[in-house]
Every structure is written in structure tokens, then in C-alpha cells.
Amino acid sequence: MLDLKYIRENLDEAERRLRTRGGKSYLDGLRELDERRRTLLKEGETLKALRNSVSDEIGRTKDKSQVQDKILAMREVSHKIKGLDDELGLVDEQLQSFLLTVPNLPHGTTPIGASENDNVQVRCWGEPQKLPFAAKPHWDLGEDLGILDFERGAKITGARFTLYRGAGARMERALINLMLDLHTDQHGYQEVLPPFMVNRDSMTGTGQLPKFEDDLFKMVDPDFFLIPTAEVPVTNIHRGEILKKSDLPISYCAYTPCFRREAGSYGKDTRGLIRQHQFNKVELVKFVHPSESDAGLETLTGHAEKVLQLLGLPYRVMALCSADIGFSAAKTYDLEVWLPGQCCYREISSCSTFGDFQARRASIRFREDEKGKPEFVHTLNGSGLAVGRTLVAILENYQQEDGSVLVPPVLQPYMGGLERIVR
């Protein structure tokens, strides 16, 4: 959520920055709503002040017969207040839901662009290898090796669900452990294991609601949602809290499965593990002092990159342009891993800074000075990494001409010493 006061005072600038995302208009009608609200507020509060003082007077008068006229007058005033409050409630609601659907302002260093084609490559690591034989896509490798069973996944549940078997299941688990160990032991994150279902407030806090309900799996009876990313439960750990400045930065990492409807992506990536309704991810989340958020994004991105480097997977870092960053993000780096089986780079991690956007929605604050006003922290997060896609990248990059797949050395200890997956 954006700061209403900031918008009020910088309407044109805010609109201009928002339009770099590509829409036509983001703040139309906001000024009128805001002014209407303040008018109603002022009127109602004046009457309330009157009522309070007169009621006080009535209370101190022992002989109530002397104040009958005042009681009657206040009955009238209360009636008016009720009317004003009702209207104010309506306007407030409109204003609130308006604000909740306005995306974040792009960061000053986010490249301006019109589509994903305008994303900017920041750096790359490793050599995208051309395999000296006909490279297979991971779905063929996985099926041939008997470690990925797409057909039965579809039978058990439906499209975009996959059954992992044997070394495949083991590798998924090994990757989760490798990533968690790295981030906790080397990068200073505290491991957390959050609920995989969250309530509406949590979804609103990080920005998935109210706008993107169609992308989520929703429970019927309790009004809960399956998490689309650990970002949601982990960022909401501190919803409504005032943190100690000395506790910042707070760094959490969490493994969770993620559940996404993938509405609107029919026909896209229908084969293989790339786009599933359920996938595993290790997520990094940071709460930082505002002055640290820019540097924080760089280090957090570095932590995600480290996983790819350890696994020896070539990748590039893309700065997403203004048209391609997510609703809540101010700036995003995508890590794209090289997939020789499909001869392309695919997103495997997305690292973003949200500025105070999520912190304002979720009311996560700290005090600069003991006596100072609470201020919003900045939140950051990034995948470190998407586990299923990492397994995809390993299969495709480490495949051999005979159809077997070598296990990256760092992963072997996590797989009982297994060096090669064969049929």
C-alpha cells in the first residue's frame, strides 16, 4: 500500500511513476474520495466533541429534570453523527479498497520498459553449454529414468501435479536440505517452518489479496488459502508488530510447498515440472532498516546465486523492467538458469525489494529512537531457490549421452553418496 499522505501531496509524480508499469491510470478518483473522507470526518468529529462535552455536563448534573432539553438535543446530534459515520464508513471502505489495489511505485533504479523484452541483463555466471549430443528435456529424462511420473500425478490429482519417485524424490529432498543448510549455516538466516495455509489478513498483508484471489487455492469452510509462496506466512510473522531497531535486520529462510492456480496460463509449459500447481521452494525473507534495503537486495540475490554456483548451474541475472515487476515489488532481480534440454534460460529465483509497501499493509514497524514515532521497516524476499526447477536444471545440465544423470558433487552427501542416476 502506498502512503496516502504522499499521494495527496505528490499525486502527479506518483501517477507518472505508476504508469511506467504500463497501465493507463492508477490514481483517478482518489483525490475526490480522500477529500470527501476528510470533510465527513471533520463534520462528524465536531459533533462528537459537542456531544462529549454536553454528555459530560449531563452526567455531572444531579437533577436530570434540568437537562431534559439537552438530552433531547443530544439525541438529535447522535442521530446526525450516526448518519455521518455511516457515510464515512462507506467512503473509508472505498478508499481502502482503492489503495489496496494500487501497485507499488517502481524503484528509481528499476529500468523503464514496456514488456519483459526490456528486462536488462545485469551479469551472468557459467558457460551455457552446448551438449555434444542430442540433449533431452527433463520430462523425457525423468520418465526414462523412472524418477518423474507425470501420468500418475495427473491420475492422482490432475494436470500440473507430478509424482516423484526414488532418486527423483530423494534429490528434491536433498536440494531442500542443501539450500536450508547453506542459508542457515553460511548466510545467517534463521530457519522457520510456517503454516502452509494462511488467513485473509496475511494474504492482504503481502499483497496477494484483494487483487489476485483467482491465482490462489482457497479453502471452503474456514476462510483460508494455500500459500502461493512462503513469502506470505513468513513476512506475516511480524504483522502488526513494532520491532526493536536492534533486532534488524531479521533474516528468515523457510522451506514450504507452494500452491498456485496458474489461472491464465493454460497451454503454457504444459510439459514437465516447470509450471506446477504444487511445487517446493526455499524462500529467503528479510526485514531491514529502510537505509539497508537497497544493499539488502544485492546480498539476498547473492545468497540465491550461491546455490546455483555450488551446483555448477549456469545462469544470468536480469533486472526486471517497470512493466514486468510484480504488484508489490519496487525492484526485482530474476535469476534465470540455463536449460540445455530446451535451449533457453528459465526463471529459477525472483528476488525483490518491496520498500515499505508490504510493511505498510501489514503494519510492520520499528522505532528509530526509543521515543520516536514508529516507522515502517522495509521487506525483501527471494527464492533460494525454486526446488523443482533446480531439479529440472540438474537433470538437463548433468545429463549424459547414455541417458544417465550425474549428481553434482555438493549434492552427493545429501543423497547417500549417489554419484549417478541410472535407469
Partner RNA sequence: GGAGAGAUGGCCGAGUAGGUCGAAGGCGCUCGCCUGCUAAGCGAGUAUACUGGGAAACCGGUAUCGAGGGUUCGAAUCCCUCUCUCUCCGCCA
Strand pairing class (365-367; 374-376): antiparallel
The cell numbers describing 191, all together, are 530457519
Asked whether position 78 contacts RNA by CB under 7 A, the answer is: yes
The alpha carbon dihedral of 233, 234, 237, 243 has a sign of negative
Asked whether position 53 contacts RNA by CB under 7 A, the answer is: yes
- 26, 102 contact by CB (below 8 A): yes
- Nearer CB in complex with RNA: 59/132: 59
Please, what is the minimum distance in Å from the beta carbon of residue 232 to RNA? Answer: 18
Asked whether position 124 contacts RNA by CB under 7 A, the answer is: no
- Nearer CB in complex with RNA: 143/241: 241
Among 52, 109, 157, 265, binds RNA (CB under 7 A): 52
Asked whether position 59 contacts RNA by CB under 7 A, the answer is: yes
- Nearer CB in complex with RNA: 35/181: 35
Number of residues interacting with RNA: please give it, by CB under 7 A: 33
Asked whether position 247 contacts RNA by CB under 7 A, the answer is: no
Among 45, 93, 247, 298, binds RNA (CB under 7 A): 45
Burial label, 235 (beta-carbon count in 10 A; 0-12, 13-18, 19+): buried
- Nearer CB in complex with RNA: 202/342: 202
Among 88, 74, 126, which residue's Cα sits nearest to residue 305? 126
The alpha carbon dihedral of 195, 199, 205, 207 has a sign of positive
Cα dihedral 167→171→172→174 (10° resolution): 140
Asked whether position 230 contacts RNA by CB under 7 A, the answer is: no
- Nearer CB in complex with RNA: 71/112: 71
Strand pairing class (315-319; 224-226): unpaired
Residues 371-390 that bind RNA (CB under 7 A): 371, 373-374
CA–CA distance, 73 with 71 (Å, rounded to integer):
5
The cell numbers describing 23, all together, are 497501465
Beta strands (DSSP E) in 340-377 are: 344-353, 365-367, 374-376
x/- letters, 81..100, toward RNA (CB under 7 A): -x------x-----------
Among 16, 31, 42, 123, binds RNA (CB under 7 A): 42
Among 298, 389, 399, 381, which residue's Cα sits nearest to residue 345? 389
- Nearer CB in complex with RNA: 192/410: 192
Please, what is the minimum distance in Å from the beta carbon of residue 247 to RNA? Answer: 14
* Beta bridge mates, 287: 250, 379
- Nearer CB in complex with RNA: 52/129: 52
Asked whether position 270 contacts RNA by CB under 7 A, the answer is: no
Please, what is the minimum distance in Å from the beta carbon of residue 358 to RNA? Answer: 16
Please, what is the minimum distance in Å from the beta carbon of residue 56 to RNA? Answer: 6
- 316, 123 contact by CB (below 8 A): yes
Please, what is the minimum distance in Å from the beta carbon of residue 225 to RNA? Answer: 14
The cell numbers describing 336, all together, are 534465470
Please, what is the minimum distance in Å from the beta carbon of residue 79 to RNA? Answer: 9
Please, what is the minimum distance in Å from the beta carbon of residue 156 to RNA? Answer: 21
DSSP reduced 3-state for 1 = coil
- Nearer CB in complex with RNA: 24/62: 62
Contact region for RNA (CB under 7 A) — 77-85, 143-151, 166-174, 337-345?
77-85
Among 6, 10, 13, 38, binds RNA (CB under 7 A): 38
| Helix count and strand count (H, E) for the chain | 12, 17
Asked whether position 63 contacts RNA by CB under 7 A, the answer is: no
| Contact residues for 336 (Cβ-Cβ < 8 A; gap 6+) | 315, 316, 317, 318, 345, 346, 347, 348
Please, what is the minimum distance in Å from the beta carbon of residue 73 to RNA? Answer: 8
Asked whether position 51 contacts RNA by CB under 7 A, the answer is: yes
Residues 205-224 that bind RNA (CB under 7 A): 222
Burial label, 312 (beta-carbon count in 10 A; 0-12, 13-18, 19+): middle
Among 9, 13, 56, 201, binds RNA (CB under 7 A): 56
| Contact residues for 288 (Cβ-Cβ < 8 A; gap 6+) | 248, 249, 250, 296, 377, 378, 379, 380
Q: Which chain residues interact with RNA by CB under 7 A?
A: 4-5, 38, 41-42, 44-46, 48-49, 51-56, 58-60, 64, 71, 74-75, 77-78, 82, 89, 222, 365, 370-371, 373-374
